[in-house]
């Protein structure tokens, strides 16, 4: 029988599998990306085809794991359109997903965004650009999950194949962070000489933390004797959480606001561009009359999501040091409220309901990463983008760990149409092929096309879209309308 805690896990997995590329490769790397380009590198704000760009809305979601999956033969994305569709069930434990099995370490990552309205203004005549943006985000990661912990977490204590075996696991970590950010981007020209152009940009972000969680198990040595008894022989670890709920009554938001903490974040970037033609020394006075500087190639480097959120409302931090407990009837706990469970766990492992509580505030780091972008024009309208993203969890386990990626993206772009074909090497190991299409300023794409064409088992899925309004460089309103006055698309 599936317990309530397991149901929550299953619902989370199933809902997210229905649905971004975590790097927004299809909406942030082209010359018509507009304000979305600052998500990749804030110094790109000056190097877009548009001098004024307004994002109306954007959404993206991504999930990947290597533990549970749906066999390709049993699922099609169109099934989700069917009324009262039920996922198939598997095995003697009647679970909605199949487990990968094996005795290796497992991981998972999810990243979702709601891109709210944003605006970009780029004035090359005065060599600066500014942008304002708002977005709401969620990112979560689990790393180095041992197979025994994963199996008991999914199947429950009744998983008899692992009974009466002593397990000794180390360095298990998991984290999740939900927040909103209000960002201000400023970009400027560092150097402009003949065929060379250097730009730099900074995005300063005010962070509003809605909820946060991280756990680190330094060591756990245990034996599950049967479907109701666990012998915890040694446990050392830390867990911290903050959420907009009353832990004693489970009410939401529980008399608290939806903001449990605040912080500051930064994106920093520099881009070097090699042009086809010598850059003009004199530029038009009208911002709309400045032409787009086409290039042979450009190289950018950025540090994204550098920052942290300090949670000081409804925040709890617990620690266990060499704790042990022989836990009978562990499968029949019957908690009604979240605080009941916390107090009981603490009492059993430390001898006091508050014995594990060490702080009522903690900080969490954003999914920080170093990003390098190289874009080369192959011929008119054809480009090849190559990039690398390297996760840098600056606060260690108290941060969401962003997975590494390599990207190679050929694309064809014109004013009205763009098609790109991202090939990504996820965690530097798993190749995935995607597709992104832009019609005017509406972009839709995925970095995992296999999820839509039924290739391979369904372990990951992503989808993103964005809608904007743009005014192109080199086109101004003229009273006589003798030539194109401006472009909105």
More confident position, 53 or 250: 53
Q: What span, in angstroms and rounded, lies between the C-alpha atoms of 407 and 418?
A: 18
pLDDT beyond 60 at 326: yes
What pLDDT is stored for residue 194 in this prediction? 84
Please state the rounded mean pLDDT for residues 149-163. Answer: 93
Closest of 78, 14, 64 to residue 405, by C-alpha: 64
- The band of 18, judged by pLDDT with boundaries at 50, 70 and 90, is very low
Least confident of 83-97, 113-127, 238-252, 414-428: 83-97
Cβ count near 191 (within 10 Å) = 10
Instruction: Please determine, for residue 238, whether its predicted confidence score (pLDDT) is greater than 60.
Output: yes
As a whole number of angstroms, the distance between CA 191 and CA 174 comes to 44
Q: Domain coordinates of the chain in residue numbers?
A: 4-472
- pLDDT tier at 307 (50, 70, 90 boundaries)? very high
Average pLDDT over residues 131-151: 94
**CATH match of 4-472 with 2.40.160:** yes
Q: What is the mean pLDDT of residues 252-279?
A: 88
pLDDT band at 15 (very low <50, low <70, confident <90, very high): very low
Closest CA to 111 of 369, 441, 312: 369
Tell whether the model's pLDDT for residue 230 goes beyond 90. Answer: yes
pLDDT of 282: 59
Q: What is the 3-state secondary structure (H, E, C) of 414-478?
A: CCCEEEECCEEEECCCEEEECEEEEECCEEEEECCCHHHHCCCCECEEEEEEEEEEEEECCCCCC
Mean pLDDT, residues 169-186 taken together: 96
C-beta separation of 68 from 98 below 8 A: yes
Q: How confident is the model at residue 316, as a pLDDT?
A: 96
Residue 14's pLDDT is 37
Dihedrals phi, psi of 318, to nearest 5 degrees: -120, 150
Residue 63 is predicted with a pLDDT of 83
Question: What mean pLDDT do residues 24-46 have?
Answer: 90
How far is C-alpha 300 from the chain's CA centre? 21
pLDDT at 283: 67
Q: What is the DSSP string of 233-274?
A: EEEEEEEEEE-SS-TTT--SSTTS-S--EEEEEEEEEEEEEE
CB proximity list for 382: less than 8 A, separation 6 or greater: 410, 411, 412
pLDDT at 250: 87
Residue 418 vs residues 52, 54, 306: alpha-carbon distances, Å? 19, 18, 31
Average pLDDT over the chain, rounded to an integer: 87
What pLDDT is attached to residue 165? 97
Query: Quick one: pLDDT band at residue 166, thresholds 50, 70, 90?
Result: very high
What is the average pLDDT across 231-242? Answer: 97
What span, in angstroms and rounded, lies between the C-alpha atoms of 436 and 28?
11
Mean predicted confidence (pLDDT) in 342-359: 96
- Of 70-84, 224-238, 369-383, 391-405, the one with minimum mean pLDDT is 70-84
pLDDT at residue 457 is higher than 80: no
Comparison of pLDDT for 207 and 459, the residue scoring more: 207
Nearest Cα neighbor of 384 from 276, 277, 296 is 296
pLDDT digits (tens, 9 = 90+) for 430-454: 788 889 999 999 999 988 776 666 5
CA distances from 254 to 8, 165, 246, 336, 341 (A): 20, 42, 4, 16, 18
């Amino acid at each position: 029988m599936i317990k309530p805690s397991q149901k929550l896990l299953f619902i989370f997995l199933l809902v997210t599998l229905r649905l971004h590329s975590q790097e927004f490769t299809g909406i942030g790397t082209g010359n018509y990306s507009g304000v979305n380009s600052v998500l990749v590198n804030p110094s790109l704000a000056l190097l877009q085809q548009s001098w004024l760009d307004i994002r109306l809305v954007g959404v993206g979601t991504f999930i990947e794991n290597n533990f549970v999956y749906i066999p390709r033969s049993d699922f099609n994305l169109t099934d989700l359109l069917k009324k009262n569709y039920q996922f198939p069930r598997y095995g003697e434990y009647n679970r909605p997903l199949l487990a990968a099995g094996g005795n290796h370490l497992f991981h998972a990552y999810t990243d979702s965004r709601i891109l709210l309205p944003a605006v970009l203004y780029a004035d090359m005549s005065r060599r600066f650009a500014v942008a304002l943006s708002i977005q709401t985000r969620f990112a979560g990661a689990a790393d180095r999950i041992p197979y025994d912990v994963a199996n008991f977490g999914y199947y429950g204590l009744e998983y008899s194949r692992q009974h009466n075996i002593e397990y000794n696991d180390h360095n298990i970590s998991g984290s999740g962070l939900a927040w909103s950010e209000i960002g201000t981007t400023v970009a400027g020209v560092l150097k402009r000489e003949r065929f060379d152009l250097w730009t730099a940009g900074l995005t300063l972000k005010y962070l509003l933390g809605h909820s946060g969680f991280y756990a680190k198990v330094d060591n756990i040595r245990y034996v599950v004797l049967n479907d109701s008894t666990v012998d915890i022989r040694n446990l050392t670890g830390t867990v911290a959480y903050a959420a907009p709920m009353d832990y004693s009554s489970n009410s939401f938001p529980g008399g608290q606001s939806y903001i449990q903490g605040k912080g500051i974040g930064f994106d920093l970037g520099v881009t070097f561009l090699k042009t086809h033609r010598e850059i003009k020394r004199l530029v038009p006075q009208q911002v709309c009359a400045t032409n787009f500087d086409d290039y042979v190639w450009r190289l950018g480097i950025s540090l994204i999501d550098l920052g942290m959120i300090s949670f000081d409302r409804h925040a709890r931090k617990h620690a266990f040091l060499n704790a042990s407990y022989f836990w009978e009837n562990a499968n029949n706990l019957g908690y009604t409220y979240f605080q009941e469970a916390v107090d009981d766990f603490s009492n059993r492992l430390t001898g006091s309901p508050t014995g594990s509580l060490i702080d009522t505030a903690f900080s969490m780091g954003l999914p920080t990463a170093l990003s390098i972008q190289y874009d080369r024009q192959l011929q008119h309208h054809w480009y090849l983008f190559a990039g690398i993203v390297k996760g840098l969890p600056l606060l260690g386990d108290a941060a969401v760990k962003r997975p590494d990626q390599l990207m190679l993206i050929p694309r064809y772009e014109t004013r009205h149409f763009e098609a790109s074909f991202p090939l990504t090497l996820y965690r530097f190991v798993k190749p995935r092929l995607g597709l992104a299409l832009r019609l005017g300023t509406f972009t839709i794409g995925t970095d995992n096309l296999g999820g839509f064409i039924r290739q391979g088992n369904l372990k990951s899925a992503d989808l993103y879209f964005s809608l904007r309004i743009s005014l192109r460089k080199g086109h101004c309103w003229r009273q006589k309308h003798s030539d194109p006055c401006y472009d909105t698309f």
